[in-house]
C-alpha cells in the first residue's frame, strides 16, 4: 500500500488530545445535544473532583478515537497500484468527436473518457509527467508535459466534445513526436474507435494503449443529404437523403423535412438490421432558403439526427460549344434541362459570359479561363502529351466520382487517343493500360474535365452512357453547383467568404449562439472563420449580403457508434482495446464511507432506543 499524501499522518497527533480531554475535570454545564445515548452513562459514572481522573472504559472515547483515526487515514489517500504502471511520460489523447456524445454510458462516452483520464492523473507518481491532447476535426494541445496534477485536471475539465468527425492521425503524429526515443513513455488513447484517416499512419514502435469507451450501438442517423433539380420535373427540386440504422435490430423512424422552418413533409421509414435507406422528397421551391431534415428517433446519438442544406433557385447554365461539327454532342447538351446552348466553330476571345465552355477537338486561339470540358484539346499547361495510342482499351474507371455516376464503359471502343503523363492537378477517372483517358480536377480556381479522345472516333456517342456523362459534366462544372457545395461543410472545418470591396467587418451568428462582429484587415477580400465545432446553420453577414452555411456531420463512421475492439494503424499494425484499470486505486473514499457509516449507526441506535 502507498500513500499520495503521507504528510496527513501529522494529524494523528490529535489522538492523545482526545484522551486528555477525557482525563480533565469536567464542569457541569447543561447543553442541548441531538444525541445523548452515549453521553448518559458517561455523566452518571463520572464524579470528577480532581484536575485529573482515572480513565475508565467508555464507548464514546473509543468511537471518537476510531473516527479520528479513519479521518487521518483517509487524508493520507492510500492506494494500491493498478495493472498499468505509470511511466516517465504519458500522453493522453482524448477523443472529442461526435460519436463520443453517445449516451449508452451515462451521461456520455466523453464524460466516461474524461473520468478515466482524471484517474490516470491521480495515479501519477511524483516524478511522472503527462501531456493532454484533445482531438476532433483537429488536434489541440490542452496541456504540455508537466507533473502538476492541478494543471492536468484543469486541462481535462476544460475539454469539450464537438460535433466534428474524428481525425486522429494528427494527434497520433504529435504524440509520436513527444514520445520518440523514450522507453519510459506511453500513449493513452481514450476513444470508441470511430476514427478515419489512419490507413497511411506509419506505426514506428508506438507504445499505444487503447482504452475503449462504449457499450452499445443503437442509433439511426443521416449520412447523406443533397438538393438537385428533380430528374422527372425540372420545375421542382428533389431533396435526396440517406439514413443509416446501425443497430442489429430492425427499427423505424419518422423523417421530417422542413424549409425555412416550415414543415413540408413527414414520413415513417422502416429499417432492417444495419441497413441504410435512401429517400427522395419532391418539393416546389419559390425562393432561396435552407432545407432541414430531422430523424425523430429515440437513439443514443443526437449529433446525426438533423442535417441542413442551402438551396438556391435553379438558374440555367450558359454553355458554349466550340466544335467543327458534332451532332451527337450538340444534341446531348441541348436535351439537358436548364441549359442555354450556344455553338461556334472558333473561339477568338475569352468566353467570360458563359458558365461552361466545351471544346470538341479544337485548339482555340484563346483558352477559356472558366470551367472547361475538353475533348482531345490539350494545352501544355494542362497535360504533357507523349504521343498517340491506337485502339486503347478501357481497363478501369472510377464510378464513385460524380462525373461517372450511373455510367458503364464496358462496351465503349476507342479508335485513337492522346497518350499523356499524369497531371498533378487532376485525378484519372478513366484509364487504359498505358495512359489515362479522362482527367478531372481544379486548376487556377476552375474546374476542368479533359478527355483524351474525340467522341466521333469511338462508339461512345452510340451508348446510353454518353448523354448521362454530359449531364453529369454540366452539373459538376456548373458554377452554381460548385457555389452550393461551398455552403456545406463538416463541423470543425473553416468557413470562407469572398468579401466585396469596402467591407470592414463581418457579423457571424453561430447556431444557437449570439451574433459576433469581427473586423477585417484593410484590403481583405476573403473572410475565414474557424470556430465551427457544432452542427447547424451559420449566418454570415457582410454589408447587406447574408449567406447561410450548413454544418452537418454526414459521416457513416461517426454514425456507426459500435465500439471498436481494435484500431488499425497503417496496413499491418493493430492496437487492441485494453480492459485493464488505467490508474492506481485510491481507498480514501471507502475509508470516509466507513466513518460515515459509524456515525449513521450511532444515530440509528439512539433513535431505536428512544422510539
- Cα gap 88→73, rounded to integer Å: 28
Classified as helix, coil or strand, 535 is coil
- Is residue 87 over pLDDT 80? no
- Cα gap 149→548, rounded to integer Å: 44
- Cα gap 532→563, rounded to integer Å: 26
Torsional sign, CA 168, 174, 177, 178: negative
Helix axes 37-45, 588-610, angle to 10 degrees: 70
Average pLDDT, the chain: 86
pLDDT of residue 581: 45
Which is it for strands 356-360 and 566-569: parallel, antiparallel or unpaired? unpaired
**Are 82 and 580 contacting, i.e. CB atoms less than 8 angstroms apart?**
yes
pLDDT tens, residue by residue, 338-386? 899 999 999 988 998 999 999 999 988 889 989 999 999 888 788 889 9
* DSSP, res 196: B
Those residues whose C-beta lies under 8 Å from the C-beta of residue 251, and which sit 6 or more positions away, are 220, 245, 270, 271, 297
**Stretch 471-494: mean pLDDT, rounded?**
86
- Cα gap 182→555, rounded to integer Å: 36
**Banded model confidence at residue 257, pLDDT cuts 50, 70, 90:** very high
- Is residue 602 over pLDDT 90? no
pLDDT tens, residue by residue, 164-221? 998 888 999 899 899 888 888 999 999 998 887 777 776 666 888 999 999 989 999 9
- Cα gap 408→399, rounded to integer Å: 8
* Torsion (CA) 138, 142, 146, 148 in degrees, nearest 10: -160
- Least confident span in 39-53, 62-76, 246-260: 39-53
The closest of 122, 95, 86 to 211, measured between CA atoms, is 95
The closest of 405, 327, 316 to 360, measured between CA atoms, is 327
Place of cell 481514450: 190
Cα 558 to Cα 40, 394, 460, 561, distances in angstroms:
67, 36, 40, 6
Place of cell 459500435: 562
**Are 412 and 402 contacting, i.e. CB atoms less than 8 angstroms apart?**
no
The residues facing 356 across adjacent strands are: 319, 371
Torsional sign, CA 349, 354, 357, 362: negative
- Domains of the chain (ranges, CATH numbers): 2-79+589-610 (no CATH), 89-215+563-583 (3.40.50.410), 220-313 (2.60.40.10), 317-483 (3.40.50.880), 487-551 (2.60.40)
- Cα gap 47→519, rounded to integer Å: 84
Sheet containing 505-509, strands listed edge to edge, beginning at the edge strand earlier in sequence = 488-489, 545-551, 536-542, 505-509, 516-519
Amino acid at each position: 500500500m502507498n500513500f499520495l499524501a503521507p504528510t496527513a499522518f501529522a494529524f494523528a497527533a490529535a489522538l492523545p488530545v482526545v484522551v486528555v480531554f477525557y482525563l480533565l475535570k469536567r464542569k457541569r454545564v447543561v447543553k442541548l445535544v441531538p444525541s445523548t445515548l452515549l453521553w448518559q452513562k458517561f455523566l452518571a459514572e463520572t464524579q470528577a473532583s480532581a484536575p485529573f481522573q482515572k480513565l475508565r472504559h467508555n464507548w464514546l472515547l473509543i468511537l471518537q478515537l476510531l473516527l479520528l483515526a479513519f479521518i487521518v487515514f483517509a487524508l493520507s489517500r492510500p492506494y494500491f497500484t493498478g495493472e498499468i504502471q505509470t511511466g516517465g511520460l504519458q500522453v493522453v489523447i482524448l477523443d472529442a468527436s461526435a460519436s463520443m456524445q453517445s449516451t449508452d454510458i451515462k451521461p456520455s462516452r466523453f464524460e466516461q473518457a474524461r473520468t478515466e483520464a482524471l484517474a490516470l492523473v491521480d495515479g501519477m507518481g511524483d516524478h511522472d509527467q503527462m501531456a493532454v491532447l484533445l482531438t476532433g476535426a483537429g488536434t489541440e494541445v490542452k496541456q504540455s508535459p508537466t507533473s502538476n496534477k492541478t494543471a492536468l485536471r484543469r486541462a481535462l475539465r476544460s475539454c469539450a466534445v464537438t460535433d466534428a468527425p474524428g481525425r486522429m492521425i494528427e494527434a497520433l503524429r504529435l504524440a509520436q513526436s513527444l514520445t520518440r526515443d523514450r522507453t519510459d513513455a506511453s500513449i493513452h488513447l481514450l476513444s470508441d474507435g470511430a476514427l478515419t484517416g489512419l490507413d497511411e499512419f506509419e506505426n514506428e514502435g508506438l507504445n499505444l494503449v487503447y482504452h475503449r469507451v462504449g457499450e452499445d450501438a443503437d442509433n439511426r442517423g443521416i449520412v447523406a443529404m443533397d438538393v438537385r433539380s428533380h430528374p422527372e420535373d425540372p420545375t421542382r427540386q428533389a431533396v435526396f437523403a440517406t439514413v443509416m440504422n446501425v443497430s442489429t435490430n430492425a427499427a423505424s423512424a419518422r423523417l421530417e423535412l422542413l424549409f425555412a422552418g416550415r414543415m413540408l413533409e413527414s414520413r415513417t421509414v422502416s429499417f432492417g438490421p444495419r441497413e441504410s435507406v435512401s429517400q427522395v422528397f419532391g418539393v416546389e421551391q419559390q425562393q432561396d432558403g435552407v432545407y432541414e431534415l430531422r430523424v425523430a428517433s429515440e437513439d443514443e446519438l443526437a449529433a446525426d439526427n438533423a442535417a441542413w442544406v442551402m438551396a438556391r433557385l435553379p438558374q440555367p447554365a450558359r454553355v458554349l460549344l466550340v466544335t467543327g461539327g458534332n451532332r451527337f454532342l450538340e444534341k446531348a447538351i441541348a436535351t439537358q434541362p436548364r441549359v442555354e446552348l450556344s455553338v461556334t466553330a472558333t473561339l477568338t476571345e475569352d468566353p467570360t459570359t458563359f458558365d461552361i465552355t466545351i471544346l470538341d477537338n479544337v485548339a482555340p486561339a484563346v483558352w477559356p479561363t472558366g470551367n472547361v470540358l475538353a475533348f482531345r484539346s490539350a494545352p501544355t499547361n494542362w497535360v504533357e502529351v507523349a504521343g498517340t495510342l491506337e485502339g486503347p482499351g478501357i481497363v478501369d474507371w472510377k464510378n464513385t466520382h460524380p462525373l461517372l455516376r450511373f455510367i458503364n464503359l464496358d462496351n465503349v471502343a476507342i479508335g485513337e487517343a492522346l497518350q499523356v503523363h499524369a497531371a498533378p492537378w487532376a485525378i484519372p477517372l478513366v484509364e487504359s493500360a498505358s495512359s489515362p483517358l479522362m482527367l478531372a480536377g481544379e486548376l487556377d480556381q476552375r474546374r476542368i474535365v479533359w478527355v483524351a479522345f474525340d467522341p466521333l472516333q469511338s462508339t461512345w456517342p452510340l451508348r446510353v452512357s454518353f448523354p448521362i456523362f454530359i449531364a453529369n459534366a454540366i452539373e459538376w462544372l456548373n458554377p452554381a453547383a460548385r457555389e452550393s457545395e461551398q455552403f456545406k461543410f463538416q463541423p470543425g472545418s473553416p468557413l470562407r467568404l469572398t468579401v466585396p470591396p469596402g467591407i470592414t467587418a463581418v457579423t457571424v451568428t453561430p447556431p444557437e449562439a449570439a451574433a459576433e462582429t469581427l473586423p477585417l484587415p484593410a484590403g481583405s477580400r476573403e473572410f475565414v472563420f474557424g470556430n465551427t465545432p457544432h452542427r447547424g446553420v451559420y449566418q454570415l453577414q457582410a454589408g447587406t449580403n447574408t449567406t447561410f452555411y450548413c454544418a452537418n456531420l454526414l459521416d457513416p463512421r461517426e454514425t456507426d457508434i459500435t465500439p471498436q475492439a481494435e484500431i488499425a494503424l497503417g496496413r499491418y499494425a493493430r492496437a487492441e482495446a485494453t480492459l485493464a484499470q488505467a490508474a492506481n486505486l485510491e481507498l480514501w473514499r471507502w475509508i470516509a464511507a466507513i466513518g460515515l457509516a459509524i456515525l449513521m449507526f450511532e444515530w440509528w441506535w439512539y433513535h431505536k432506543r428512544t422510539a
